[in-house]
Structure 1
């Protein structure tokens, strides 16, 4: 059966609501469609009557074998299998297909297995249906990545970690810290993130109040526990790192590292002061930045990046430089 693009957009959103266990009914679906976008044209595409919604649900079950049922106690529809795969046809513009190719290339370099292969296979399938010739574009191979992962993630570990985070299951892990000490924990994985070339899970142990970061490459064993938890926005929206913020920073940089200052900014609102007395050096004002990163980048530039203020940051740079000198004087 050929499904129109408009109907497909509605069905995708209905399935997504069921997958998130929102138990949609006609009232909830209509409200969600009205709030789906600020684009008036798109809203008109989604807005429909009760009969149309029922026809969408019927096609989902009969044509796509969607395992939905109606829960009378919750007055809404749900998926009997939340892992059901909605294999719908792709309606993609050329720019969308190009974006998918770029995303595939990034996935090859960032994501661990088996997620990397899953993403690449999904993109290849969609592009093969939409435009097979696009996969032969050479521009994607010209996109280069120069970042090395410092922690090698075992696919056998990443798979259950990813599954537990995705489906909101508890996770049983054996974790080894940087000193080699092993501990056994049952955790709630609230967030999955990539930082400084390493993959982390931000989780709360079942016997602890405060969440913390776990480096995935240090997890020795991981098993999904068939018990769900409710993700807490107070946790996954407030991931904390053990870094010390420094406010109102002013740095002096040599013109030779101009590109580095722009390509890797310290802060999105940093300000360059071009009008200085020295034509070789300019100033940069930074509202706030982590002390540890500031010190590291200043030392990396071998005198071409120096601290104007605050004095406390100057002292930290001097202390770090002395430590390096002392360590190499033996």
Structure 2
């Protein structure tokens, strides 16, 4: 296993231990990794000094709000909502779809492709599922900031089926509580806005489906195999996981008090920015999904004004009136 891969996985497991309120420190976590090596046969043991360097990087590079608690002799998160934004856990889908062909390296932006490939692709090439044991799957679910309840056993079976390109038979419960059975080819597994999804086709068809992992009641691996559809991966990269229609020509006026974070996110948003004399911004968005921009505007509580299109401005105003009426 490469050094960067070992370090990434140590960080992942450390964050998971912190989020489970186990208060790990450098020495206790080093002992835990040594036990993990003995039980699983993985070259994972390291010194407490190495763990201390990992903790320092988590704070300085990944901006983890870690704090040492003298009473519990270990670390905790000052902000429980913090998510691990290392290269395989970025926010938006295009950089967040960490699982796809070779952990979705094909879907990631160019600067991240090599990092992900170097860190984890060789693990999949070994075709050994032992490394991705139940403890590691639980760590992934915890450290990724998952906002839904997923059975780790089900998730591991789904993960293994994707990695081995095997069809699965699953029982799915929709939002109405209705259950149905499907034979499904998981071509892509992705983390999107706080939840995990599997995207692919019903077995031996080209009927595309997206299943939310938390709604899979049970799953068993079938014996049939499939070839990953690269066109599906390319389409997902271009249009997003759900391929919602996007609005063009959105222009917004953003107050000066929120200009700082818009500047910070410009590398991802790639918007057309025009700075005004008072520090506010005129923002021209790239084609954007309607409900995404609506939620953002409403969340800013009046600090964003829609300039164009007029119909979106009226829709935001109507939503504001409804909020006022329901909370007056």
Q: TM-score per shorter chain, which class?
A: 0.5 to 0.7
- Give the ranges of 4+ consecutive aligned residues of structure 1 lying more than 3 Å apart after TM superposition: 95-110, 124-129, 262-268, 325-329
How far, CA to CA, are the matches of 2:42 and 2:219 in structure 1?
30
Indicate the residue corresponding to 1:299 in structure 2. 298
How far, CA to CA, are the matches of 1:109 and 1:211 in structure 2?
38
Q: Are the aligned partners of 1:266 and 1:286 in contact in 2 as well (CA < 8 Å)?
A: no
User: Is 1:194 matched up with 2:171?
Assistant: no
Indicate the residue corresponding to 1:133 in structure 2. 49
Q: Matches of residues 217-256 of structure 1 in structure 2 within 5 Å?
A: 217-239=214-236, 240-241=241-242, 243-256=244-257
> Structure 1 residues 325 and 180, CA, compared in 2 at 3 Å: closer, same or farther?
farther
How far, CA to CA, are the matches of 2:263 and 2:172 in structure 1?
38
3-state DSSP class of the match of 1:146? coil
Shift of residue 214, structure 1, vs aligned partner:
0.7
Shift of residue 140, structure 1, vs aligned partner:
4.3
Shift of residue 233, structure 1, vs aligned partner:
0.9
User: Is 1:172 matched up with 2:89?
Assistant: no
Q: Are the aligned partners of 1:211 and 1:235 in contact in 2 as well (CA < 8 Å)?
A: no
Shift of residue 181, structure 1, vs aligned partner:
1.1
How far, CA to CA, are the matches of 2:266 and 2:176 in structure 1?
33
Shift of residue 259, structure 1, vs aligned partner:
3.0
Indicate the residue corresponding to 1:320 in structure 2. 319
Aligned residues: 228
Indicate the residue corresponding to 1:23 in structure 2. none
3-state DSSP class of the match of 2:232? helix
Q: Are the aligned partners of 1:267 and 1:288 in contact in 2 as well (CA < 8 Å)?
A: no
Q: Matches of residues 25-174 of structure 1 in structure 2 within 5 Å?
A: 90=2, 92=3, 101-102=10-11, 126=43, 128=45, 133-137=49-53, 138-140=55-57, 142=59, 143-144=64-65, 146-147=82-83, 148-174=145-171
- 5+ residue gaps, structure 1, are 1-87, 111-116
CA distances 1:9-67 after superposition (whole Å, capped 9, x unpaired): xxxxxxxxxxxxxxxxxxxxxxxxxxxxxxxxxxxxxxxxxxxxxxxxxxxxxxxxxxx
> Structure 1 residues 211 and 101, CA, compared in 2 at 3 Å: closer, same or farther?
same
3-state DSSP class of the match of 1:212? strand
Report the aligned-residue RMSD: 3.4
3-state DSSP class of the match of 1:237? helix
CA distances 1:217-268 after superposition (whole Å, capped 9, x unpaired): 0000011001111111122332341533111221111121123323445953
Q: Are the aligned partners of 1:174 and 1:184 in contact in 2 as well (CA < 8 Å)?
A: yes
How far, CA to CA, are the matches of 2:310 and 2:318 in structure 1?
12
> Structure 1 residues 187 and 100, CA, compared in 2 at 3 Å: closer, same or farther?
closer
* TM-score normalised per structure 1: 0.59
